[in-house]
Chain A
Amino acid sequence: MTDAFSERLVASLPRLRRFARGLTGAVAQADDLVQSACERALTRQHQFQEGTRFDSWMFRIIQTIWIDQIRSRDVRKEETEVEDDRFGSDEPVRRVEARLALEEVRRAAARLPADQRAALMLVTVEGFSYKEAAEIAQVPVGTIMSRLARARVALTALLESGSGLRGSVSDAKAQR
C-alpha cells in the first residue's frame, strides 16, 4: 500500500460515508459498506488507473458491493435505523427543528427504490454528471436519466405529503 493512496482514501471517507448513507439509509450499514470498500480498494489498488478520478473509482466499488449485498443478503429498507439524536439540550429550538427537517428529507430519500437512491445520490448530492453517474452505476445514461427523474418526482411527492415541502424549506433556511 502506498501512503499517497491511503491518504486519498482517508480524505475521501466523509464523502464515501455520505454516499453509503444515502444508499443504505442506516448509519451502521453505511459504515460497514465503506469499511468493505476500503478493504477492497487497498487490495486492488493496482487496478486504479492514475489520471482517472479516484472518487469515481471508490463510488463504483461502493455501488458494486451494495448491489451484491442487496442480492445476497436481501437487505431491506425496514432495517433502516433512526439516527442518533446528536442535539444538545442547549441548542436553539429552531436549529434543532431545522435539522430534524433535514433528517426527514433523508428518511424520505431512504424510502425510494435502491436504484433511484443511487442515481439521486450520485447526481444530486455528489454532483456527478449523468455520464459519470452512468459509468459508476454501470448502466446507460438514459437509465440514469429516467431513474433520476422518477426519484426526484417521488421525493418531491414524499416531501409534499409528509411534513410539507414548504415547511421543510423554511425550517432548513431558518438555520442558515
Chain B
Amino acid sequence: MQKPSDELLVAYLDGELGEAELAGVDAYLERDEAVRERVRALTLSGSLLSEAFDELLDEPVPERLLAAATGVKALPAAATILAFRPKTGIGSSRWWIGMAAAASLFGVVFGGSIGYFTATEPFLHGKEADGQVKQSQMAPLDATAVNNSWLDNVAGYHNLFAAPPAGGSDSTVFDIPANGDDANQKISQHIPGDLKIPDLKPWGLEFKGLRQLVIEGRPAAQLYYTTDNKALGPITVVIATSKRTDVAPTYDQRQNINLLYWRHMGRAYAIVGQADKGYMWGLANDIAWQLNAI
C-alpha cells in the first residue's frame, strides 16, 4: 500500500473505510511514525472542533426561535372590543416630517438608554383561555431564553419578513391582511387599548398586513409596510404591551437594520428597517402623534 493520503486518513478516523483499506492503513501506521503523527494531529483537531461546538448546545435559545419553532403568533381575542380614537387633525401631523433633523438631536440626547430598554423577561408559551399568559405553563426551554433582548427579537422578526425567503414568498403570511377597519379592530383586540393602524401613506409606505406575536410573554403586533423605493422599505412597526417605565425614542442597530424604539404608557414601540435615520425619526414622530404615544 502506498502512503495513505489525507483523505484516506480522515476517512479512517471517521470509521468510513472498508476492511481492506482499514487493514492497509493500520499496517502503514505501525511502521511510519510520520503518518502516526499526522493521524494524531488530525484526531486532535477533530476533537477540539467537536468540543468547541458542543459547548454551544448549552447556550440559551433565543425567544424568537422558540416562537418560530412553535408557530406562536396569535393570542385569543380579548373579551372587549375597544372603540377607535377618532382621527383628528391629520393634516397637522405632517409637520413632523420636516422635523426629522431636530428629532435626530433628540435621539442623541436619549441614546444612552438602550440597556434600560433591552432588559428581558421570560418567554412564555402557555396561554389561558382569556388570553392572559400563564406563568405556570412555561415550557422547559423557557428558562434558557431569559437573557435574550427585546430588540434582538424585533430585528429578527423584521428580517423574517423583509428578507426574501430562499424558497419563495410563502413566509409572508399575515394573521390579518390589510383590509381597513378589520385590521384596526383586530389590533385593538390583540393589544388592549385605543389603537389603530398608523397611516404612513404620506411617507410612501403602504400597510400590507400584521402578524400577532408574543414577545417576551406579552402580546405584540408587527405591522408590515412596503414601498416601491427599496432605499426606504420595507418597514415593520412593532407595537407591544409593556410594564416597563417610559423611555424616550432611541436609535439602535442590529447588523444592517435600523431600529427606533420607545415606550409610553404601557406600550413599547419600535420602527424597524433599512431606511436612513432621518426618515426613521420622521416616521417615529408621525406614528407617535397618530397613536398618542409620546
Contact = CB atoms under 8 A, between A and B. Distances in A.
Interface stretch (B158-166, B225-233, B240-248, B269-277): B158-166
A69 interface: yes
A36 B59 CA distance: 19
B45 A39 contact: no
B171 interface: yes
A17 B255 contact: no
A122 to B, nearest CB: 11
Contacts of A130: 11, 14, 16
Q: Which of A13, A130, A145 has the most CB of B within 10 A?
A: A13
A43 B49 contact: no
Say what secondary structure dominates the interface of chain B: helix
A31 B49 contact: no
Interface string B246-262: 00000000110000000
Contacts of B71: 1, 6, 42
Given A120-B49, A123-B14, A125-B49, A38 B68 contact: yes
A168 B48 contact: yes
Contacts of B181: none
Contacts of B54: 18, 125
B70 A6 contact: yes
Interface in A107-163: 109, 120-121, 123-125, 129-130, 145-146, 148-150, 152-153, 155-156, 159-160
Most buried by A among B42, B47, B70: B70
A77 interface: no
Contacts of A109: 49, 52
A102 B48 contact: yes
A135 B145 CA distance: 33
A168 B51 CA distance: 11
B160 A35 contact: yes
A170 to B, nearest CB: 11
Nearest to B139: A10
B293 to A, nearest CB: 28
Given A10-B141, A69-B166, A17 B61 contact: yes
Contacts of A94: none
A148 B49 CA distance: 13
B1 interface: no
B53 A125 contact: yes
B10 interface: yes
B171 A39 contact: yes
Nearest to B15: A129
A105 B48 contact: yes
Contact of A145 (B7, B41, B62): B7
Contact of A68 (B16, B48, B166): B166
Contacts of B66: 10, 13
Given A31-B156, A36-B171, A160 B41 contact: yes
Contact of A13 (B42, B61, B163, B167): B61
A85 to B, nearest CB: 13
Nearest to A130: B16
A149 B14 CA distance: 11
A106 B50 CA distance: 10
A35 B69 CA distance: 8
A38 B167 CA distance: 13
Given A43-B173, A156-B44, 10 more contacts: A6-B69, A13-B66, A17-B56, A35-B64, A35-B68, A36-B165, A38-B65, A153-B42, A165-B45, A165-B48
19 contacts: A13-B69, A15-B57, A18-B56, A21-B56, A28-B152, A42-B69, A43-B171, A72-B164, A99-B55, A102-B52, A102-B55, A105-B49, A105-B51, A124-B49, A125-B49, A130-B11, A152-B46, A160-B41, A172-B51
Interface of B: 5-7, 9-11, 14, 16, 41-42, 44-57, 59, 61-62, 64-66, 68-71, 139, 141, 152, 156, 159-160, 163-167, 170-171, 173, 254-255
